[in-house]
Amino acid sequence: MAEHKIMIGIETHVQLNTKSKMFCSDRSEPGDAEPNSNTCPVCLGFPGSKPRINRKAVEYGILIGIALNCRINSNVFFSRKAYFYPDLSKNFQITQYEIPIAEEGYVQMGDDRIGITRVHVEEDPARLIYQNGDITSAESVLIDYNRAGVPLAEIVTEPDFKSPKQVRNFLERLSSVLEYLGVYDPAREMSLRVDANISMDGGERVEIKNITGFESVEKALNYEIVRQSGMRRMAATVQRETRHFNAELKTTSALRKKEYEEDYGYIFDPDLPMVTLSEAHVSSIKAKMPELPEQRAERLSKEYGMDISRACVIVYNGKPMADFFETSVKLYNNPDGISNWIVNYLMKSLNWRGERISNSKVRPNTFVELVEMVDKNEITERYAKELVKSYVDTGTSPRKLAEGEKVVLTEKDIVKIVSDIIVNNKKASDELKAGKKEAMQFLIGEALKQTKRQANPNEIREILTKLIGKST
């Protein structure tokens, strides 16, 4: 089968961490507010209501643009995008079209450079709640306007992606950058949504709308590649359209014909002024730019003598995990051991529970107990791998967990256990004296059972050799 030329570009919509909405003073994060209670005439689009620009949202847009190596425009304005859909009651969305905050940036992904077309800010529409089905099959739809007007940053890429996997890797990196900037909260529901555009062999572009979850984006694109490839084999025409991704079925379905830009009828919003982003203002924001993931990974590698790949795993897991690592190292100076236990064991246990370090029961002061006990041979590495699971589940001090299971053994304890095993297993002891290696493995196995696999096998071997030698 001939290889198809695939072109993929994405539009990422990020809910910004501001206290108020994009064009009014309603709370941006209403929490447990009743549906449609966190609203006002502005975000409901009442006649005569006047929007006001959220300064912090614009500054967040500048921050994102700088972090993505974009050019920041000096004069920007807002436009009305004709939007005949029930999630925006005024039938238009206030957004940026002609001149966005930032343009012409890039993200370096190994040898590939992903172009950033633009970064602009706009308002989020309301939340649609489908009853007894999804967008394609629901019997009815409820609308909650609490989300209407929440500030969004839209990040649009060039069609530079070569595969769905590369898109997923990009989104994971982008999410980390945004989290380090402090502009969004990845734990917030629907905080990052993706519209993915894909075409094959120069054909029409298909858009998959409002995908949440990086894995879902990859699966949606993979499905589209299979679907469009099949259509081409059957000489069918791929239509320019917008499609919906069903996360349960892992398939896409047609929603509507894809609109063209001119269909939206963009016009300058007469209620909002032109915004001047002076060079001094942009420079002041740039001066406050926090350490970004790539910079932090390089610093951790140099400062703590870590392998750069391990540093990247910790850093790109999110800012809270990188903070957790550095705090742990301050409490117990073993960066290699701590990073090893974080990457190979702690992260796996957190992933199994579907938790991030920030909302888990794990704390640096108790986590380092685990590493320290392994370093001091108070518990074996084998047992510690099991102990970390109980620790993540309960948050209880690893030392207390180990003591509760009576597994913190002194050398004297292990010698007593091995001595008893020699006495109670005379045949195996005699065979060991005669030089049979199988007997050594048997006796070590018995000792591991009685110590609940807490003793180190090499330590048991040395004790057996000494005790058998004395009895000889």
- Helix %, strand %, coil % of the chain (to 5): 45, 20, 35
Q: What pLDDT does 302 receive?
A: 95
Which of 3.40.50.2300, 1.20.1050.10, 1.10.10.410, 1.10.357.10 would CATH assign to domain 411-471? 1.10.10.410
| CB contact burial 227-257 (16+ within 10 A = b; e otherwise) | bbbeebeeeeebeebbbbbbeeeebbeebee
Q: What pLDDT does 152 receive?
A: 96
Domain extent listing, the chain? 6-284, 293-404, 411-471
- What lies within 8 Å, CB to CB, of 469 at 6+ separation is none
Structure tokens at 86: 């029930």
The pTM for the full model equals: 0.81
Task: For 107-176, give the DSSP string.
Answer: EEETTEEEEEEEEEEEE--PEEEEESS-TTT-SEEEEETTSTT-EEEEEEE-S-B-SHHHHHHHHHHHHH
Q: Please list the pLDDT of the chain residue by residue as tens digits (472 residues).
A: 456 789 999 999 999 999 999 999 999 987 778 999 999 999 998 999 999 999 999 999 999 999 999 999 999 999 999 877 788 888 899 999 999 999 999 999 888 999 999 999 999 999 988 888 877 778 888 999 999 999 999 999 999 999 999 999 999 999 999 999 999 988 887 789 999 999 988 788 899 998 998 999 999 999 999 998 888 888 888 888 899 898 888 898 888 877 667 777 889 999 999 999 999 999 999 999 999 999 999 999 999 999 999 999 999 998 999 999 999 999 999 999 999 999 999 999 999 888 899 889 999 999 999 999 989 888 878 788 888 998 999 999 998 888 776 555 667 777 888 888 888 887 888 777 777 778 888 888 887 777 766 667 777 888 888 887 655 4
Q: What pLDDT does 406 receive?
A: 58
Q: What pLDDT does 163 receive?
A: 93
By the 8 A CB rule, do 311 and 348 touch? no
Q: What pLDDT does 2 receive?
A: 52
Q: What pLDDT does 452 receive?
A: 65
223 vs 233, 235, 250, CA distance in Å? 15, 18, 7
Place of tokens 């004709």: 82
- Cα 56 to Cα 51: distance, rounded to the nearest angstrom: 15
